[in-house]
Amino acid sequence: MHGSNNFAFIDGANLHITYEYMDWKLDYQKLRCYLTKKYSVTVAYYFIGNTGENDLYTHLDVCNYTVKFKSPSSFTEEEEGCPYCKKVITPEIHTHKSDRDSFMTLRIIEEGSQSLYDKAVLITSDGDFDEVVKWLLRKDKLQIVLAPCRDGCSRLLKDITKGQIAFIDDLREELELIEPAKI
């Protein structure tokens, strides 16, 4: 793999949220070094909605990730009421959504079609990426899918990768953020 020009495409929300729910913190610098050494990743795109988490964005930049923002769109989930008694069942919710998946998929296909990278390392556990994984396999452009967590990984994604999948939670000893002890 030496001399390869591989790109990582990281579903940032999927990666970030996974480790918020687990009992350990991912060290983004260690992950970036791992991607470079193990998979010859020269560019690591980190796709995330622009939520204003400036400390995270700065940290990712320092760790040599190329952050790709997708501005969120606001939408409202309508209030639902019981058709019989008219009591509110679900309150109106104002929320935001960034469609990072399609943004990331487009980037993978555009840059792969232009031969900007040799192989792709896809970091996600989201089954919505099944079609782009099929495309990468057909084009012989898939290096590996690294799913953040074995248990949370989509069965569809596990099946479609044809064995080209690994799990970041298996690399805990290598990639965990070890914070200094507080005195």
Residues of the chain short of pLDDT 50, as ranges, are 1, 94, 96
Topology classification of domain 6-175: Rossmann fold (3.40.50)
CA distance 116 to 100: 21
Q: What pLDDT score was predicted for residue 7? A: 98
CA distance 76 to 178: 40
Q: What pLDDT score was predicted for residue 105? A: 94
Q: What pLDDT score was predicted for residue 86? A: 67
Taking the CB of residue 170, how many other CB atoms lie within 10 A of it?
Answer: 13
Q: Where are the domains of the chain?
A: 6-175
Q: What pLDDT score was predicted for residue 15? A: 86
Coil, strand, or helix at residue 126? coil
Q: What pLDDT score was predicted for residue 72? A: 60
